[in-house]
Amino acid sequence: FLPDSCCDCCSVSEKSFFFILLPGLQEVVVVIQSQRNSYHARRSEQRKEEILQQAAEEGKGRPVVVLLHELTEYEGDWSILPALPHLFATYGQLASWFIFVEEETRLRLAALLRVLHRYPEHEEWFLGRGLHDDGASIIHHYAFSEDPSSFTYPDPSAGWAVSKPLLKRLAVRLQHESLKSDFTIDLHHEIALYVWEEGNGPKLTAVPEFCSQMRDNCATSFTTFLPDCGEPVPKTDVFVAVKTCHKFHHDRVPVVRATWEKDAGFLEFYSDVSDSSIPTISLGVPNTERGHCGKTFAIMRRFLSGAVPRADWLLIVDDDTLVSLSRLRMLLRCYDSREAVSLGERYGYGLLHKGYSYTTGGGGMVLSRVAVSRLMSSGCSCHSDDAPDDMVIGRCFTSLGVPITHSPLFHQARPDDYSGKLISSQQAISFHKHWNVDPLAVYKHWLKDDLPRDEL
């Protein structure tokens, strides 16, 4: 794997020595960022088998392949940082490199070894395909807003890698200090910040062979964010609940009606007042400026009652959330509605200290009927009407052992708040907020699907 020029003057014994030093696959740990939901567990197990089969065919050693959701019993391991001390303690003696990939990331092991051979394993390395913000981003707390391109973070779909010396230092550091924020919002940006350590650690080294799309020299590539699991679930399998209030009846509600409402089988607007012109339904819960926990729990009670058509899935969104229901129905075909499923964009609170995960409300919360039933029968409730509904529900599900299932297609913020390189490769399901954007244009550009040819 060394260029010929490196060894033109080497003896045979010296060349052999160089090749002995080069790591094989047995020194590589591949961490698949798997999830506990049955669909994702199956997909990650399939990816693990593919990697091990490829390794057997290559004959260059056998990597360790770890399914992240099986590493420990702690669900918060998905945020990576809490898992690093355990990863190092378990595999640090034998491994030189730790590669983190999504369940839909494909590896070409021979190409991966060629990449790793370029970087001395005794040094600290943080490798990946670099993303950067295109402008000031609220989800990154406006970090580096004066020069967004100055800080890069790894594209999760392309995978990323750390050398053992870096992992060791991070593992030790994590055991002796707290994070600056209790919230995990954008995982890979926050990991890059933690690794960089305000200039005391390495920045991400861009590796052209870490790819989001397959090219000839790629060591990694990505298949899809929206898997094909068959025909979309019927419209009538999804009940849509839109949270609104009187002051937004004349600006936000018309946007919903002009864009994605027509794709819903069953949809109701829930407000603090009844308005027959829309219509809206008042659930007897006063409007709150934040939180909306009381309203959301009232929606879930109504969903289980005979007052609305029976459906397998409940989607709860804000009145300034834009949604592609057709893509959501495609995604839901992958999941078993007979399971307790909580699906959306996953955030975390206090995960370094055994906290909990939750589905962000602005991006849309998707719950199976079984999940809603388990939650409502558990006795879990709001401590106040204005408590944060998404966080309360997440804490409840954590106590019930119901995993929070993540999809990067749901978005708590606007398109401009994400790296254009990342979201341009997605088929997004939702975006949130009308602030400083034209919501009709956002829907048309990012979420509206053209009709199939036979429907034109």
Mean pLDDT, to the nearest integer, of 37-53? 98
Beta partners for residue 406, in sequence order:
344
- How does DSSP classify residue 52? H
Contacts of 118 (CB under 8 A, 6+ apart): none
Model pLDDT for residues 12-23, shown as the tens digit of each residue: 444 433 333 456
Q: What whole-number distance in Å separates Cα of residue 45 and Cα of residue 65?
A: 10
Q: What whole-number distance in Å separates Cα of residue 203 and Cα of residue 80?
A: 18
H and E: helices and strands count for the chain = 14, 22
Burial of residue 309, with CB atoms counted within 10 A of its CB: 0-12 exposed, 13-18 middle, 19 or more buried: exposed
Is the separation of the CB atoms in 247 and 289 below 8 Å? no
Statement: residue 353 has pLDDT above 70: yes
Q: What whole-number distance in Å separates Cα of residue 29 and Cα of residue 232?
A: 36
Model pLDDT for residues 94-118, shown as the tens digit of each residue: 999 999 999 999 999 999 999 999 9
Beta partners for residue 292, in sequence order:
388
Q: What pLDDT sits at residue 290?
A: 82
Q: What whole-number distance in Å separates Cα of residue 242 and Cα of residue 319?
A: 6
Polymer length in residues for the chain:
456
A 10 A CB-CB count for 272 gives 17
- How does DSSP classify residue 374? H
Mean of pLDDT over the chain: 92
The token pair at 365 is 């919360």
Contacts of 123 (CB under 8 A, 6+ apart): 163, 165
Q: Is residue 400 within a helix (H) or strand (E), and if so which, with residue range? A: helix 389-400
Contacts of 179 (CB under 8 A, 6+ apart): 81, 194, 352
The gap between the terminal CA atoms of the chain, to the nearest Å, is: 54
Residue with tokens 């058509």: 309
C-alpha to C-alpha distances, 168 to 125, 211, 336, nearest whole angstrom? 12, 26, 39
Give the confidence band of 332 by pLDDT, cuts at 50, 70, 90: very high
The token pair at 374 is 């388990």
Domains of the chain: 26-222 (3.90.550), 235-447 (3.90.550.50)
Give 167 or 180, the one with higher predicted confidence.
Answer: 167
Mean pLDDT, to the nearest integer, of 442-449? 96
Model pLDDT for residues 195-252, shown as the tens digit of each residue: 999 999 999 999 999 999 888 899 999 999 899 999 999 999 999 999 999 999 999 9
Is the separation of the CB atoms in 143 and 193 below 8 Å? yes
- How does DSSP classify residue 272? S
Residue with tokens 């839909």: 104
Q: What whole-number distance in Å separates Cα of residue 158 and Cα of residue 213?
A: 8
Q: What whole-number distance in Å separates Cα of residue 346 and Cα of residue 185?
A: 8
A 10 A CB-CB count for 107 gives 24
User: Quick check: helix, strand or coil at residue 166?
Assistant: helix
Q: What whole-number distance in Å separates Cα of residue 216 and Cα of residue 111?
A: 10
Model pLDDT for residues 120-136, shown as the tens digit of each residue: 999 999 999 999 999 99
Q: What whole-number distance in Å separates Cα of residue 126 and Cα of residue 66?
A: 19
Mean pLDDT, to the nearest integer, of 148-155? 96
Sheet with 160-163, strands from edge to edge, namely: 64-67, 28-32, 97-101, 160-163, 126-128, 205-206
Mean pLDDT, to the nearest integer, of 31-48? 98
Q: What is the DSSP string of 342-354?
A: EEE-EEEESGGGT
